[in-house]
């Protein structure tokens, strides 16, 4: 069995003490199969690394990084003709690691090794998003955690262009505060199979997982395997509203506020009075208009 395993580790290039980590990975996993290591670079993102690994015969991809790396590895698997035969593992070494919070995945190498050896895995849903890419061309990508239209997309633009001098939680906290100061509600039209509405909004979240922005439980009832996406609508919310409700967000509780509402569905369409930025799994990817649909049990995760 061990001889048939081909495991590829897709490692984010900016992880601290990367050489020591790679040595530990070799030590823990070399006895159970063939290992290959790919380190992301500015000209070699996780998607390209993963596609190259799959082309060389890997059947298990391990994303070693944050939510962005997880998203890229997942997209490589989901766009592969043999997607149903492939498995994905995660070692959370990123800033937010929000998707792993929903699955209870940690940095425990022994637990990952056991999951590989005994084929302990679960099927999760993913969401397909069609939108306008950064180059103003039609784009399609998948997300495993949360896509956010409006404030979140604006915040990730700010996060990627600024410098971080704090830890992940404080970095996200200050970026969100700054976003509230500069981002204003935009009139949007939302439609799903259940309902539709048109209103100025700060943010609309399409959630498969519960958490985003380094541990904020924005979608408390979201489940990664229920065949549904959870909608979270934040309409005319002020920075003071956010600060007052922050303890509830951190505890993963629903927000009681007249400008906050929730829903569920399998698909939706969002348009705005002008293009609105989109955050997908913690990365800025493009703009509205968009269509989104759930793909039940589409990805096998070692967990």
Quote the pLDDT of residue 253.
96
Domain boundary among 120, 144, 169: 120
Q: What pTM value is reported for the model?
A: 0.93
Domain boundary among 78, 93, 120: 120
Mean predicted lDDT score pLDDT of the chain: 93
Residue 301 falls inside a structural domain: no
User: What is the mean pLDDT of the segment spanning 208-236?
Assistant: 96
Confidence of residue 178 (pLDDT cuts 50, 70, 90): confident
The answer to whether the CB of 121 falls within 8 A of the CB of 300 is yes
> CA separation (Å) from 294 to 260, 269, 298?
23, 12, 9
- Of residues 161 and 110, more confidence is placed in 110
User: What is the mean pLDDT of the segment spanning 120-127?
Assistant: 98
User: What is the mean pLDDT of the segment spanning 174-192?
Assistant: 91
Tokens for 125, please give them.
């849903």
Span 226-253, pLDDT tens digits: 999 999 999 999 999 999 999 999 999 9
Q: Where are the beta strands (DSSP E) in the chain?
A: 6-11, 34-39, 60-65, 87-92, 122-133, 138-143, 146-150, 186-192, 196-201, 203-207, 229-234, 260-265, 267-272, 277-280, 283-301
The CA-CA-CA angle for residues 25, 38, 65, to 5°, reads 65
Q: Which helix (H) or strand (E) holds 220?
A: none
Residues 105 and 132 in one domain: no
Tell whether the model's pLDDT for residue 214 goes beyond 90. no
Residue 91 falls inside a structural domain: yes
Closest CA to 294 of 102, 85, 147: 147
Tokens for 178, please give them.
């700054």
- By residue range, what is the domain housing residue 195? 126-296
Tell whether the model's pLDDT for residue 170 goes beyond 90. no
Tell whether the model's pLDDT for residue 258 goes beyond 90. yes
Residue 302 falls inside a structural domain: no
Residues 203 and 256 in one domain: yes
Tell whether the model's pLDDT for residue 4 goes beyond 80. no
Tell whether the model's pLDDT for residue 1 goes beyond 50. no
User: What is the mean pLDDT of the segment spanning 64-76?
Assistant: 97
Span 20-29, pLDDT tens digits: 999 999 999 9
Instruction: Check which CATH number belongs to the domain holding 107 and give it.
Output: 3.40.50.10330
Quote the pLDDT of residue 156.
84
User: What is the mean pLDDT of the segment spanning 38-47?
Assistant: 92
User: If 0-12 CB within 10 Å is exposed, 13-18 middle and 19+ buried, where does residue 181 land?
Assistant: exposed
User: If 0-12 CB within 10 Å is exposed, 13-18 middle and 19+ buried, where does residue 52 land?
Assistant: middle
Residues 163 and 264 in one domain: yes
Instruction: Check which CATH number belongs to the domain holding 288 and give it.
Output: 2.60.200.40
Total number of domains in the chain = 2
> CA separation (Å) from 42 to 14, 49, 189, 246?
10, 12, 36, 35
């Amino acid at each position: 069995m061990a001889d048939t395993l081909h495991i590829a580790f897709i490692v984010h290039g900016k992880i601290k003490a990367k050489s020591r980590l790679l040595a530990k990975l070799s030590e823990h996993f070399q006895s159970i199969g063939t290992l290959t290591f790919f380190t992301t670079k500015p000209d070699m993102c996780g998607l390209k690394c993963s596609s190259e690994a799959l082309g060389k015969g890997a059947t298990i991809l391990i994303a070693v990084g944050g939510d962005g790396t997880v998203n890229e590895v997942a997209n490589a698997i989901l766009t592969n003709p043999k997607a149903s035969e492939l498995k994905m593992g995660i070692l959370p070494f990123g800033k937010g690691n929000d998707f792993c919070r929903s699955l209870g995945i940690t940095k425990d190498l022994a637990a990952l090794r056991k999951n590989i050896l005994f084929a302990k895995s679960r099927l999760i849903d993913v969401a397909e998003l069609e939108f306008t890419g950064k180059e103003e061309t039609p784009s399609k990508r998948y997300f495993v955690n949360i896509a956010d239209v409006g404030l979140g997309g604006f915040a990730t633009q700010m996060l990627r262009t600024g410098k971080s001098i704090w830890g992940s939680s404080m970095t996200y906290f200050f970026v969100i505060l700054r976003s509230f100061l500069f981002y204003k509600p935009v009139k949007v039209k939302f439609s799903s199979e259940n309902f539709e509405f048109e209103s100025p909004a700060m943010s609309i979240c399409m959630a498969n997982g519960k958490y985003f922005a380094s541990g904020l439980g924005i979608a408390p009832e979201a489940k990664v395997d229920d065949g549904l996406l959870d909608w979270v609508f934040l309409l005319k919310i002020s920075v003071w509203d956010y600060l007052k409700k922050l303890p509830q967000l951190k505890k993963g509780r629903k927000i009681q506020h007249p400008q906050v509402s929730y829903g569920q569905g399998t698909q939706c369409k969002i348009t705005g009075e002008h293009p609105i930025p989109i955050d997908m799994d913690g990365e800025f990817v493009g703009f509205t208009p968009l269509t989104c649909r759930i793909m039940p049990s589409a990805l096998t995760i070692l967990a």
